[in-house]
Each structure stands twice: as C-alpha cells, then as structure tokens.
Amino acid sequence: MSIAPSHFQTIVPTDQLTESVDVDTFKAAFRMHPAGVAVITTDSGDRPAAMTVSSLASVSTEPPMVIFSLSRMSGAAAAFLESDNVVIHLPGAAQLWLAQMAAAPGVDRFADPTQWTRLPTGEPVFPDTYAWLRGRIVSRLEAGNSVICVAHIVQASVPDAETLVNDQSAPLVYHARTWHQLGTGSKI
C-alpha cells in the first residue's frame, strides 16, 4: 500500500469526533433524498459479487473518475476490498429487477447464467443493463462504517442517440424506500 499524503487530508480523525446529530434524524433526511442507483460487480478470484449502491457520482472527467461507497455491513463488501477491477452498471427502469436483486441480502446474484457473462478482461457483467462502465479502484478511504472507493474508468458501453430515443428503459430513481421512473410527466 503506497500513500500519497499530498492528495489526502485528515482534519478530524474518526476516533476524535465529538457530538453527532441524532441518527434517526440523519436517516430521515436521506430517506427523502432522491438518488440514481448503480449495480457494481467484481470478482475477487473465487466468485463474482454484485451490490446496488445509491452513492455513485462522477467526480472528474480528466481523468474520468467516479466515487461510490460500500457499507461494511454489505455481504459483497469484502470482494470490493480485495479486488480493484469493477463494472459499474447504470440500470434503467427496465432493469429494476437487477437493482432489487443486487440490493437483497443473501440472494445469489449470479444464479441465472443467462443474465450475466464475463468481459474479455474477466469482470462479471450484466450486458442487458442500459449502460455500464469498466473501471479500476485507484484509492479507498474509510468513513465511519463505510469505505469510499474512487475508480478510474477505462471502458464504457453507452447507448447511442438513436438507441436512446427508442429505449423503453426510463431513468430509475430510488426515494423514500420506493422506486420511481422519470418521464415527460415528471419534468418541471
């Protein structure tokens, strides 16, 4: 493990934090905060792993980088701490089944061999997802009971404009423990 001190700054170590907001109030605020979701896959060597996250964000274009966080409580977390190579799927409403499956505790995400395959580089992929990006985790940062991962994106499968127009897969949003899809009716 190499450290790049100039690129990382700790102001307050976690074990020196004092007063926190009430946890129920904190949870209530974020329950009502809408989010897109992503299904991230990896294979740490023995078998594929997948998890649904609502924390994916693009943070840089040059170089192209994203962040996502993984809870240590997630059964899939260990695989993402051991393996750096990931595929980040962006499901549309037509792939709600995938987002739900990869969020469900104890469910084998790879039980149906018709739903997934492997990229030439080895990572597990659900190819019917609206879009996916292949990347490599370049740094990890602990934050409470989660680990924040920064990934460099090296490949992507994104539908072209014509495909988008005909696409039946509306954008998928998670909010207040419910799923929503965006469309002309939701536009402001």
Q: Which of residues 29-58 bind its own copies (CB under 8 A)?
A: 29-30, 32-36, 38, 54-58
Of 142-181, binders to its own copies (CB under 8 A) are 142-146, 148, 150, 152-156, 158, 164, 171-173, 175-176, 178-181
CA distances from residue 130 to 23, 34, 86, 92, 100 in whole angstroms, order as listed:
35, 20, 17, 6, 15
Start-to-end Cα distance in the chain: 48
- In whole angstroms, give the CA distance from residue 56 to residue 182: 18
Residue 94's SS3 state is: helix
- Nearest-approach distance from CB 164 to its own copies, in angstroms: 8
Query: Is residue 21 at the binding interface for its own copies, with CB under 8 A as the rule?
Result: yes
- In whole angstroms, give the CA distance from residue 148 to residue 120: 27
- Nearest-approach distance from CB 149 to its own copies, in angstroms: 10
Of 55-94, binders to its own copies (CB under 8 A) are 55-65, 67, 69, 84, 90, 93
- Nearest-approach distance from CB 109 to its own copies, in angstroms: 20
